[in-house]
């Protein structure tokens, strides 16, 4: 949603949304097209161009890691589910983004994720940011109970359902 707000309210912005795989990038592209029905947009192959000359591109992490984001003057980059990317792919995406991110002082990068492997580079970045080793990073946490409808009863049901799922997976393998 922030990417959409950013594109609508700021002129001449280039926004890169990076997803775990091409299927998720395509699904997000379709969802954004639907959300933009009240705005004048031009859908392109993997991007949406707004009348204010802002553009949102939808890219898979694998494509970004191969350099598809190189050479673009990106104002906002959002990497979705960063902790679930293959570590090698994550490192390649960050390496490809670094020259673009370092050329402007106003650009932003948002790495979002649910909990994954705590040894993943994403969590190392979070840890460094929490310890103030990266002064320009800001950590925002959204606890499970901040989502409407997620109560202690919901949490208990989730744990019960997950135990059943894990148990049945072990038995029927």
Are 137 and 165 part of one and the same domain? no
Q: Dump pLDDT digits (tens) for 81-95.
A: 998 998 999 998 888
What range defines the domain where residue 166 resides?
A: 143-173
Q: Dump pLDDT digits (tens) for 139-168.
A: 888 887 888 888 989 888 888 887 776 655
Are 167 and 127 part of one and the same domain? no
Are 166 and 89 part of one and the same domain? no
Are 132 and 166 part of one and the same domain? no
Are 153 and 105 part of one and the same domain? no
Are 104 and 156 part of one and the same domain? no
- Number of domains composing the chain: 2
Name the band, by pLDDT with cuts 50, 70 and 90, for residue 173.
very low
Phi/psi at 50 (nearest 5 deg)? -95, 160
Alpha carbon distance 94, 135 (integer Å): 18
Alpha carbon distance 44, 164 (integer Å): 44
Are 155 and 75 part of one and the same domain? no
Are 59 and 136 part of one and the same domain? yes
Are 101 and 161 part of one and the same domain? no
Output the domain CATH number for residue 43: 3.40.50.300
Are 22 and 81 part of one and the same domain? yes
Residue 12: what pLDDT?
Answer: 92
The alpha carbon of residue 121 and the mean position of all alpha carbons in its chain are separated, in whole angstroms, by 15
**170: pLDDT strictly greater than 60:** no
Are 36 and 76 part of one and the same domain? yes
CB proximity list for 166: less than 8 A, separation 6 or greater = none
Are 133 and 159 part of one and the same domain? no
């Amino acid at each position: 949603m922030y990417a959409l707000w950013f594109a609508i309210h700021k002129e001449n912005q280039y926004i890169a949304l990076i997803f775990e795989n091409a299927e998720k990038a395509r699904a997000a592209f379709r969802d954004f097209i639907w959300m933009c029905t009240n705005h004048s947009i031009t859908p392109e192959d993997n991007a949406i161009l707004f009348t204010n000359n802002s553009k949102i591109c939808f890219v898979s992490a694998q494509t970004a890691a191969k350099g598809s984001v190189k050479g673009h003057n990106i104002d906002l980059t959002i990497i979705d589910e960063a902790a679930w990317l293959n570590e090698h792919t994550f490192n390649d995406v960050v390496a490809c983004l670094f020259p673009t991110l370092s050329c402007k002082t106003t650009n932003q990068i948002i790495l979002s994720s649910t909990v994954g492997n705590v040894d993943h580079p994403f969590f190392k970045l979070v840890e460094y940011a929490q310890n103030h080793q990266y002064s320009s990073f800001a950590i925002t946490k959204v606890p499970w109970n901040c989502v409407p409808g997620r109560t202690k009863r919901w949490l208990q049901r989730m744990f019960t359902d997950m135990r059943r799922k894990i148990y049945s997976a072990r038995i029927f393998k």
